[in-house]
Amino acid sequence: MQMRIHFCRNIYWADPRRSGFGTAALADLSRECVATILLARKRCKIAATIRQSDHYRLACENASDGLILQDMRGRVVWCNPAYCKMHHMKPEDVIGRNPLEFVLRPRQGAYA
**pLDDT tens string 45-93:** 888 888 888 888 888 889 999 999 999 999 999 999 999 999 999 999 9
**Strands 5-8 and 11-14, how do they pair?**
antiparallel
Is the pLDDT assigned to residue 42 strictly greater than 80?
A: yes
| Residue 18, amino acid | R
Alpha-carbon distances of 78 from 45, 51, 54, 61, rounded to whole Å: 26, 20, 15, 10
Sign of CA dihedral 54, 56, 59, 60: negative
Looking at every residue in the chain, the average pLDDT score rounds to: 75
**Strands 76-79 and 68-70, how do they pair?**
antiparallel
